Amino acid sequence: MQKPYRRDQDHAKDPVAVSGSPRRLAFLVYDSRSGSTLLSREIRGFLEGVCVTPEIGFDELFRVGEPGLQKYGWPELLRRLYSGHEFINFRISQKRALQLLCPDDGQVVGLVEGIRRLLDAYCGEYFGSECNWIVVKNGTHIRYWRTMHRLFGDELVLLHIVRDPRAVINSKLKTPRPYQPEEMMAWGGALLASLRWRNYVREVEGAQQEGVRIYQLRYEDLIKAPRENMERLATFLGVKIRMKADAQRYFIPTAEKEIHKEVMKPGINIRRQEAWIEELPKHDRFQIEALCYRDMKRFGYQVPGRLYRRLQSLALVAGLPRTMAGTLKHLRLKMRP
């Protein structure tokens, strides 16, 4: 049985330091368009000693795990990382990364130690000595929480921001992918986007049930009371909060600036949150509410009572043609030279 979301549920355990490093690691996970960049801006602006990376994906490392490292070695895994767009924002050269992970003294560097070395180098280059916490921003890492839990053990800390899926998906339907601008973020339509949102929040729920340390935050709560929410997060991380936030401290990559224009402005535009839901077409709204019903209720989002599990099959049938067409187009773009 799924537990309802409680704002105070994430403070039961204190996070612990990553072994061998003065810096602690946390992984910020989310579905796209859920407010992760706004949260990153607020964390960087409010919290002392907490540095947030732009989107950096270690997905390939978590996918293969330690067995993959032993099989392929760091040179091959680095080649894979640097060839994908998930690692494009890691502004340390591949040559330097190889030197860090394959030192001349022949020292064997494991997966966790390798990730930590890469992040230490990144933070040393761009944040300096002020960084006590490194928050790695990448939504898809939640898919690999089981591997991450095996690797980091009790040291694994996740930060999760969730947003009303109606707002998330309407935004995705109208927003180009920053690194593949020829298609929209919700290239598979509302059906596929709904299943993705649902899968993400259930992965987080699964991680929480297995004892992973997680701090959860609703986007809607953040925009209403940013400072109060940052004070709670500061308590969770054990850091101090600045008297006045500095929104300019967070770096947004050039390719993402167009889709984050509002975040780059001072303050928070609360009106757009309601507009994203109100502007959602009825057929898309039906699919989202039917497929995400239970999880929306768990996070306190209002959903019409008539939408029960029996309507999910109808929602799947209604959205399937659009999903199939979008998937075919997506695959053609991926296979394009």
Does the domain at residues 23-335 carry the CATH identifier 2.30.30.100?
Answer: no
Give yes or no for residue 277 having a pLDDT over 50: yes
Residue range 302-324: mean pLDDT, rounded:
76
Each residue's pLDDT tens digit, 162-195: 999 999 999 999 999 888 888 888 888 999 999 9
The CA distance from 147 to 66, in Å, is 9
Instruction: Tell whether the torsion through CA atoms of 327, 332, 335 and 337 is positive or negative.
Output: negative
Residue 317 pLDDT grade (very low, low, confident, very high; cuts 50, 70, 90): confident
The CA distance from 320 to 291, in Å, is 13
Higher pLDDT, 57 or 324: 57
Residue with tokens 């991926």: 334
pLDDT attached to residue 182: 84
The CA distance from 133 to 112, in Å, is 16
Residue 265 pLDDT grade (very low, low, confident, very high; cuts 50, 70, 90): low
Each residue's pLDDT tens digit, 221-236: 999 999 999 999 999 9
Residue 1 pLDDT grade (very low, low, confident, very high; cuts 50, 70, 90): very low
Burial of 250: CB neighbours in 10 Å, binned 0-12, 13-18, 19+: buried
Which helix (H) or strand (E) covers residue 72, if one does?
A: helix 59-83
Q: Which residues contact 73 (CB under 8 A, 6 or more apart)?
A: none
% the chain with pLDDT above 90: 59
Pairing between strand 180-184 and 133-137? unpaired
Give yes or no for residue 291 having a pLDDT over 80: yes
217 in Cβ contact with 160 (< 8 Å):
yes
Each residue's pLDDT tens digit, 96-116: 999 999 988 778 899 999 999
pTM of the model as a whole: 0.88
Q: Which two tokens stand for residue 222?
A: 């953040």
Instruction: State the helix-helix crossing angle for 271-278 and 165-174, rounded to 10 degrees.
Output: 80
